Amino acid sequence: MEEQEKSAQNFLTFRLGDEKFAANLDKALNILEMLPITKVPQSPEYMKGVINRRGEIIPIIDIRMKFGMEPIVVSKRTVIIIFRVEIQGETADVGAMVDEPGTVIEVSEADITPPPSIGAKYKSELVKGMLKVDNDFIMLLEIDKVFSLDELVEINQNKETAERGK
Amino acid sequence: MDNFRLKFIEEATDLINALENSLLSLEINNQNSDLINEIFRIMHSLKGGGAMFGFETISEFTHNMENIYDEIRNKKAKITQELLSITLSSVDHLRNLLDDNLASTPEVISNNKILSERLIKEINKTDKSQKFDEKTEPQNEKDSLSEIKKGETYYIFFKPNAEIFANGTNPLFLVDELNSIGKTLIFARTHEIPELDNFDPTRCYTYWEIFLQTESGLNAIEDVFMFVEDDSMTEITKIGDGTFLNDIKFTSMIEELNIADDSHFDAAQIKVFAESLSTVVDKNTNDLSVKDKINKFTKEAVISGIRVASEKIDQYMNLVSELVTTQAAFKLVSEKSGNAELIELAENFEHISNQLRDNVLSMSLIPIENTVVRFKRLVRDLSVEFNKNIIFITEGTETEIDKTLAQALTDPLMHILRNSIDHGIETIEERMKLGKPAQGKIIFKAYYSGSRVFIEVEDDGQGIDTDKVRKKAIEKGFIDSATQLTEKEALNIIFLPGFSTADKVTDISGRGVGMDVLKRKIADIRGEIEISSPRGKGTKIIIKLPLTLSILEGLLVIINDTPYIIPLSSIYRIVEQKIDDLKKSYNNIVAINGIQYPFYLLREELEMPGDYPEEVQFIIVKYEHTHIGLVFDKIEGEYQVVLKPLGKMYRNHEIISGASILGNGTIALILDTNKVIDKFSNKAFV
Amino acid sequence: MGNYIDFIIYLIVLLGSIPLVRMLLLLFFKKSVLKNIGFIFYLIIVFAAILGRISANTGTVHLLWQAPLTAVLLTAAFIYVDRINLAPVRRVKHELDKIKTGDFSESNKFVFSRQSTQTEIAEMYEAMQEMKTKIGSVLSEISELSASIFQTGEDISKEAQNITHLAKEQSASISEVYLAIKEVANLIAENTDKADKAEKIAKKSTVKIEVSNKNVKKAMDSLQDIAKKVNVIGEISFRTKILSLNADIEAAKAGENGKGFQVVAAEIRKLSEHSRAASEVVEKISQESINMALRTGRIAEQVVPDIKETSDLVKEIYSGNKEQNVQAELIKSSVHLIDNTSHKFTDLSLIMSDKTAYLSDFSTKMMNEISFFSFISQQNLTDNSENIIQNPLSFSPKSIYITVSHYLKSNSFKMIKNNELKTKTNG
């Protein structure tokens, strides 16, 4: 049973801008239609705020900005994908705004290639590999890294040291 | 399968914790047979569970321990200091064994070997001394065998937990198992099975009433239900000695009593009837003690209640939160409607939901004792390691706190204790030199103070050398040498990330990740940490925690259509002001009723777009020993809000301590007024 | 001696009475010839008296010489009277003779002496003279007039002939006009009929367009309704897709048992995607239809007032035509009248032509009658005056010569002056 799972894995695809990305289906918790987002003041721009998912508060990230794209513009197709990720060794549910949900695809192990090391458009640590689907390549994201707090922690530490300097 | 293993690990961890606690108590009072029984029972459970869920090492290991404590229980062996020591080590070892990752490491494997050998040695010791006694055991069995001839009849009420399938348990197997130990008369009660629409195949709706005539004794029956007893309702009543099921009178009476599916048998009534039948049966002298046993058992089951997974409590809590929120919305709607009937209904609803809320809150509260037990052990072990003589005194451990808080507190407290032992309390020699008593003292105090819980950890060690802190801070570039610091400010430096004063790095503390993490973790649970350290006299750390993480009395205020909650406890007064007057005021200070209040225009400080309305709400909040004004657009009213964490992504967010979901589903952010003022007044250290 | 003195005194008294008698004669007879005759008689008496006194004195009556002297004196006196006082009568007779022949031409005026002019006969001559002149000028005028009458009569006759000709032509063309107008009137009547029909049609089409406009609006409303519903379908399919994805996620978590469910979820997703695609197409189409309907509606809305306007215009044209029709009829009858009149006019012009011919004859006759009288024609008088006037205006060669020589003289002078100036400058 496990062997089967290994030879073919399920991925959830979605679109950011004009590009297609994929994440391990295991990582996804569910997909939500756009909900009103409460902005949290004094937080980085890519942290869009929080939403109420059935009584649970989930932070929402504009992952487009993580990939250096323009901030997301909410459309009829915009959805929130909730991922269960590991942040600093702890699990957390985080929502990602994506331009359009894709579909669930099954890709066999053989069609997963490592990310191109040269000429990569995005930070290689965010890309886990490339999925070959019908002669098309979909970038497989390392979801944990995408939501990693490193950046945020750095920012805050810098701020603190700056304040300390005073 | 993994799920069940996890479940076992969870249960086993609790068992091991209880075991540890009992062992520590036993160390003080080594004659307490209750404790020994308890230890034996835990060993037994661990052995069985281990075998069942594939933890063979644990099963084997506990088998030996069980044997030893069985001997002791039966007074065939004596508790020795060494035995306790080995057992305590074994407790740690068992914890390691539960962790799959650790269990396979060579250290643990070798440890297992060493401990097993030591245990076997202990067994052999008792074997030698009590060889004769051991031989008497089969005799006991023979005794019970003689009882078998007579046979006993039990009434068993077995209502499995509805979630029992989730554990992988098939209740029918248990019933079958009963069948295998004697003659049974089984009534399956199926009236609780719902209509197909509401039928959830993952739930168990059936319960059973079983009459069992067995020769195996009560223990055998109990063993059958061993793994379900926590979750399920099991009631075992002895009807009497004798093979009643063979008596047609008895069975026909039972059939007669079984009028309806949803009725159930009155054990006492049957018992009386059975007694009238059992003229043949001798009155056993053991009967009373067995009865006691049963009573005790059933009593235990009733009093200690059912074990509920903390996750479920969380869910329950969440649901109640939702209910409270919905109720608030309902109340609003009903008030708006002006319908008297509806309002009355809403009031009733509020009353009930408040009770429910209090109920769930109390359910999620646990005495701090549970957490402290571990520390006793820690202090004991560390003081031995550091060659220090330390007494750990606890006060107010019955103080109850939210279990989430308790969980979150464990690490920080552990850290504080380690620091105290490692850095605070001096070695015996040093203490003698200083004229202090040889035995160091760590006092752990927990108590309520208003709506908060205070936890103090105080030691009588050397305290924190603020000069050293200062020096180090300059060295690390946190401050420059010209900076003048008060004692308090200097002490607060130790909470900065990457700061550690320990000269040498030990494996316990001094890794430089200490106090800042500590502070952050406390902040995570909306707590505050204070430190005071009179030089040479010791260190006192006070952790102030909210009573619960779940409910907060707050004022709902609005800035730019974004709702915020300010805890009512932090509000001093509310006045209405004209924004123009505030904007004109010099240096952001305004006089209200002759008193001057500094204030912050939050709309601007939080960089919100738009302008204030003409009339603004000037909320005066308590801050340290003064009062400071915060300016909002408008006030929505008082609310009892259910607190929710903002999540890990916002862990580093300073001024927002959480969020709450309002009646209409929108999220209100909870403003930590202290942090807001800290931030905008640029006071980094206080 | 005494006798002489008496004589002298007598003489003086006789001689002295002469002027007195003259004066008395003048007073009594004034302009009559008798004053002259009486005076002469008085002078003879005086002379006879003187002579008687002388003879008485001398006593010798010299009758022989006295008789001849008196005869001579009387003869002289009668000659004087004839010559001086009866001359004018003869002049009058002369003039009357001339008039008898129809000669009214002016003759040299006879100027009478002072005494004679003072007589009535002289005055009669003068009056007659004057009358003759006047009659002469009247006759000359009559002659001239009759000449011009003749001329005019000739002209009129000529014009009358022209008029007759033109009238004939006019009559012909008016007849033509009448025919044309008759046709025009017919056409107008036809137009009126057509305009009437057009108006009716326009009215009908306005109603029809209004109905179709309403229908377009209705269609648009339903299309918008459809678009809304399709939108909902699109939304639902999107939601279904999300739902199926969620189901997929859940199924994936359920492991082997979820496999079947996963397939179902995938099917649902496919369906939702199909329905979404379909709804998108429908949405697009319905949007297009809406746009089209919108455009149609807009055009129809524009057309309705246009058509209404057209209908109104047609109505106006119709009523205009009707009026025109009436007027055309009027014109037709008027032209008909004109036609008749012009025919009459032609007849009249013919009559007139005859009359003028008669007039011409008449004037010729009159001219002949007039020619009996002779008088100074005005024509001759004007000719002479023309000559007199012409002279001062014409340049006589002499005057030209003078002018040129004068010019040359002044010029040469100037030239000399210039030369002098030149030599002066040269030197």
pLDDT at residue A96 in the model: 92
Q: In this predicted model, what pLDDT tens digit does every residue of C128-144 receive, in sequence order?
A: 878 888 888 888 888 78
Range 611-670 of B in CB contact (< 8 A) with A? 644-656, 659, 661, 665-669
Nearest Cβ partner of A104 from C238, C245, C273? C245
- Tell me which residues of chain A have a C-beta less than 8 Å from any C-beta of chain B: 36, 38-43, 47, 50-52, 55-59, 61, 87-88, 90, 92-94, 147, 149, 152-153, 156-157, 160, 163-164, 166
Contact B211, B154 (CB under 8 A): yes
CATH of A2-165 among 3.50.50.60, 2.40.50.180, 1.10.10.10, 3.40.630.40: 2.40.50.180
pLDDT at residue C420 in the model: 47
> What's the whole-number average pLDDT of chain B?
77
| B35 and B117 share one domain | yes
Contact B672, B630 (CB under 8 A): no
Residue that is last in its domain, among B303, B320, B351: B303
With an 8 Å Cβ cutoff, are B650 and A149 in contact? no
Residue C388 predicted with pLDDT over 70: no
pLDDT at residue B444 in the model: 92
| For range C150-156, the mean pLDDT | 79
| β-sheet bridge partners, residue B542 | B456, B530
Those residues whose C-beta lies under 8 Å from the C-beta of residue C304, and which sit 6 or more positions away, are: C206, C209, C210, C213
Q: Which burial class, exposed, middle or buried, applies to B524 when counting CB atoms under 10 A from its CB (0-12, 13-18, 19+)? A: middle
Residue B174 pLDDT grade (very low, low, confident, very high; cuts 50, 70, 90): confident
Structure tokens at B581: 């007057």
With an 8 Å Cβ cutoff, are A57 and B661 in contact? yes
Taking the CA of residue C246 and the nearest CA in chain A, the distance in Å comes to 5
Measured between beta carbons, which residues in chain B are less than 8 angstroms from residue A41? 562, 606-608, 655-656, 669
Dihedral Cα B248, B251, B256, B259, nearest 10 deg: -160
Nearest alpha carbon to residue B162 among B194, B206, B199: B206
Nearest alpha carbon to residue B383 among B425, B434, B413, B335: B425
With an 8 Å Cβ cutoff, are C252 and A32 in contact? no
With an 8 Å Cβ cutoff, are C242 and A31 in contact? yes
Contact C132, C95 (CB under 8 A): yes
With an 8 Å Cβ cutoff, are A79 and C242 in contact? yes
DSSP result, C16-84: HHHHHHHHHHHHHHTTSHHHHHHHHHHHHHHHHHHHHHHHHHH----HHHHHHHHHHHHHHHHHHIIII
Residue C385 pLDDT grade (very low, low, confident, very high; cuts 50, 70, 90): very low
Residue C398 or residue C331, greater confidence: C331
Q: In this predicted model, what pLDDT tens digit does every residue of B498-532 receive, in sequence order?
A: 676 554 444 444 444 467 778 878 877 778 888 88
Structure tokens at A126: 């965010």
Q: In this predicted model, what pLDDT tens digit does every residue of B28-48 receive, in sequence order?
A: 777 777 788 888 888 888 887
With an 8 Å Cβ cutoff, are C242 and A101 in contact? yes
Measured between beta carbons, which residues in chain C are less than 8 angstroms from residue A1? 255-256
Alpha helix stretches (DSSP H) within A105-149: 143-146
d(CA B533, CA B494) in angstroms, rounded, equals 12
| B238 and B327 share one domain | no
Phi, psi at residue C297, to the nearest 5°?
-55, -45
| B199 and B281 share one domain | yes
With an 8 Å Cβ cutoff, are B649 and A56 in contact? no
Residue C375 predicted with pLDDT over 70: no
Phi, psi at residue B319, to the nearest 5°?
-65, -40
With an 8 Å Cβ cutoff, are A50 and B667 in contact? yes
| B90 and B239 share one domain | no
With an 8 Å Cβ cutoff, are B607 and A41 in contact? yes
The half-sphere exposure of C344 on its side-chain side, counting CA atoms within 13 A, is 6
Phi, psi at residue B550, to the nearest 5°?
-95, -40
pLDDT at residue A14 in the model: 92
| For range B88-97, the mean pLDDT | 81
Structure tokens at C109: 């005026």
Measured between beta carbons, which residues in chain A are less than 8 angstroms from residue C252? 10, 25-26, 104
In a domain, B563, yes or no: yes
| B568 and B480 share one domain | no
Measured between beta carbons, which residues in chain A are less than 8 angstroms from residue C256? 1
Residue B263 pLDDT grade (very low, low, confident, very high; cuts 50, 70, 90): low
Taking the CA of residue A121 and the nearest CA in chain C, the distance in Å comes to 28
With an 8 Å Cβ cutoff, are A166 and B322 in contact? no
d(CA B438, CA B452) in angstroms, rounded, equals 35
| For range C327-342, the mean pLDDT | 82
With an 8 Å Cβ cutoff, are C249 and A1 in contact? no
| β-sheet bridge partners, residue B456 | B445, B542
Taking the CA of residue B534 and the nearest CA in chain A, the distance in Å comes to 25
Measured between beta carbons, which residues in chain C are less than 8 angstroms from residue A33? 238-239, 242
Fold of C144-370: Helix Hairpins (1.10.287)
Nearest Cβ partner of C249 from A29, A33, A76? A29
d(CA B398, CA B392) in angstroms, rounded, equals 16
d(CA B645, CA B534) in angstroms, rounded, equals 36
In our burial notation (b when 16+ CB lie closer than 10 A, e otherwise), range B368-393 reads bbbbbbbbbbbbeebbeeeebbbebe
With an 8 Å Cβ cutoff, are A104 and C249 in contact? yes
Measured between beta carbons, which residues in chain C are less than 8 angstroms from residue A103? 245, 269, 273
With an 8 Å Cβ cutoff, are B646 and A50 in contact? yes
d(CA A144, CA A24) in angstroms, rounded, equals 11
Which pairs with CB-CB distance under 8 Å and at least 24 residues apart come from C196-203?
Answer: C196/C318, C198/C314, C198/C317, C198/C318, C199/C311, C199/C314, C199/C315, C199/C317, C199/C318, C202/C307, C202/C310, C202/C311, C202/C314, C202/C315, C203/C311
With an 8 Å Cβ cutoff, are B321 and A90 in contact? no
Nearest CA in chain C to A83: C249
Chains in touch with A (≥3 Cβ pairs < 8 A): B, C
Q: In this predicted model, what pLDDT tens digit does every residue of B646-673 receive, in sequence order?
A: 777 776 677 887 888 877 778 899 888 8
d(CA C303, CA A18) in angstroms, rounded, equals 47
Measured CA angle at B351 (ends B348, B353), to 5 deg: 105
In a domain, B685, yes or no: no
Q: In this predicted model, what pLDDT tens digit does every residue of B295-331 receive, in sequence order?
A: 555 544 444 567 777 778 878 877 887 788 788 788 8
| B14 and B114 share one domain | yes
Residue C86 predicted with pLDDT over 80: no
Chains in touch with C (≥3 Cβ pairs < 8 A): A
Chains B and A touch (3+ CB pairs under 8 A): yes
Nearest CA in chain A to C254: A26
pLDDT at residue B261 in the model: 61
Domain ranges, ordered by start, for chain A:
2-165
In a domain, B461, yes or no: yes
| B411 and B464 share one domain | yes
pLDDT at residue A81 in the model: 93
| B401 and B536 share one domain | yes
Number of H helices, E strands in chain C: 9, 0
Domain ranges, ordered by start, for chain C:
2-126, 144-370, 378-414
With an 8 Å Cβ cutoff, are C246 and A31 in contact? yes
In a domain, B97, yes or no: yes
Measured between beta carbons, which residues in chain A are less than 8 angstroms from residue B608? 41
Phi, psi at residue B511, to the nearest 5°?
-90, 0
Q: In this predicted model, what pLDDT tens digit does every residue of A136-145 receive, in sequence order?
A: 888 898 888 8
d(CA B297, CA B223) in angstroms, rounded, equals 13
Identify from B322, B667, B680, B686 which residue to disrupt to test chain A contact, counting A C-beta atoms within 10 A and taking the largest count: B667
Residue B280 predicted with pLDDT over 50: no
Q: What residue has token string 């603190």? A: A160
With an 8 Å Cβ cutoff, are B478 and A164 in contact? yes
Residue B392 predicted with pLDDT over 80: yes
Nearest CA in chain A to B679: A163
Structure tokens at C18: 């002469």
| B448 and B328 share one domain | no
Chains in touch with B (≥3 Cβ pairs < 8 A): A
Residue that is last in its domain, among B303, B335, B351: B303
The tens place of each residue's pLDDT in chain A, 166 residues long, gives: 444 445 678 899 999 888 889 998 888 888 998 888 988 888 888 888 899 887 788 899 898 888 888 888 888 889 999 999 887 777 888 999 999 998 888 888 888 888 776 655 666 677 888 888 888 888 898 888 888 755 544 444 444 444 444 4
With an 8 Å Cβ cutoff, are A104 and C238 in contact? no
With an 8 Å Cβ cutoff, are A33 and C239 in contact? yes
| B257 and B398 share one domain | no
Range 173-192 of B in CB contact (< 8 A) with A? none
| β-sheet bridge partners, residue B551 | B642
Range 307-326 of B in CB contact (< 8 A) with A? 318, 321-322, 325
User: In this structure, what CATH number is given to the domain that contains residue B397?
Assistant: 3.30.565.10
User: In this structure, what CATH number is given to the domain that contains residue B64?
Assistant: 1.20.120.160
In our burial notation (b when 16+ CB lie closer than 10 A, e otherwise), range C10-36 reads eeeeeeeeeeebeeebeeebeebbebb
Residue B162 belongs to what domain range? Answer: 146-303
| B277 and B314 share one domain | no
What is the β-pairing status of strands A79-87 and A19-24?
unpaired
With an 8 Å Cβ cutoff, are B321 and A55 in contact? yes
Q: State how many domains chain B has.
A: 5
Nearest CA in chain A to B650: A59
| B289 and B391 share one domain | no
In our burial notation (b when 16+ CB lie closer than 10 A, e otherwise), range C162-171 reads ebbeebeebb
